[in-house]
Structure 1
């Protein structure tokens, strides 16, 4: 199988994808967001490590705190996980006493996952542990820039219906 690559004249200097400031490549934004994700994930992983959980565990706890008891397929969708991955995370959370699976009335095959009181305590402790590290992430931003960045990323991640 061959891939048909449209031929272009010599590419312009800015057409090569990088994540450097000023890159005009159509991939530049994606690469910048990826680098930002790596940086934030590394810092949040550092905050969670002493609590004995990983970012994937925290992502599920976050959904459970936000939505209440949630079926596993919805947890998978909300966290960007696959079916097998979410099962492993929920198994881990159950072993740690942070979440439990409960039957869903009317459907014996489906189980909802619910955060336990211990899970809520750990969730709160994670926020306390992460606060100084999160502050370090935005330390180089000027007045109002943290709020501006948060606002822009929120609009970008959650586009208004019909604008995606």
Structure 2
């Protein structure tokens, strides 16, 4: 059975292409940009034997210090089972360890190891040229402006989406 769909005269259909006036346009463009950036960063991380999901946890451990898994779930947008698998992978590689949290025998904090810090630094070195390739089509000052705009879009004063 066909449904009669009447298009609102002022409505714009989302295409995700330049000039798209749809309310979904920004999200579609951000998704495509994310896919491109993720592919470039995966290219940098591949030779180091880790994936973006591992590196996301290492970033949080460097920024926060020892962190309980539930906080890693919130910080990375992952789920509990996914974080457990990632931390298991990092432990197997000697890049992170779980340690008891004083005062709560049931909770373990994840901490980056010296080897994890070395890999973290190596990933930044490997990603440098690839990140430059990612923004090569932008003009002078545009990569910095893009970072500023995306930071302002992503970060709100209370750290939560508005």
TM-score of the alignment, normalized to the shorter chain, above 0.5: yes
Distance 1:66 1:116 in 2: 14
Alignment TM-score, normalising by the size of structure 2 = 0.93
| Aligned 8 A contact 1:14 1:23 in 2 | no
Aligned residue among 84, 90, 95 for 2:92: 95
Aligned to 1:41: 38
| Aligned 8 A contact 1:75 1:86 in 2 | yes
Question: How many residues in Structure 1 have an aligned counterpart in Structure 2?
Answer: 158
Residue 148 to residue 116, structure 1, CA distance change in 2 (3 Å): same
SS in 2 for 1:159: coil
Q: Which consecutive unaligned segments of at least 5 residues does structure 2 have?
A: none
1:19 counterpart = 2:27: no
| Aligned 8 A contact 1:72 1:86 in 2 | yes
Aligned residue among 70, 74, 88 for 2:67: 70
- The alignment's C-alpha RMSD in Å is 1.7
SS in 2 for 1:103: strand
Aligned to 2:110: 113
| Aligned 8 A contact 1:71 1:111 in 2 | yes
| Aligned 8 A contact 2:155 2:161 in 1 | no
Residue 70 to residue 34, structure 1, CA distance change in 2 (3 Å): same
Aligned to 1:154: 151
1:130 counterpart = 2:118: no
Alignment TM-score, normalising by the size of structure 1 = 0.92
Aligned to 2:140: 143
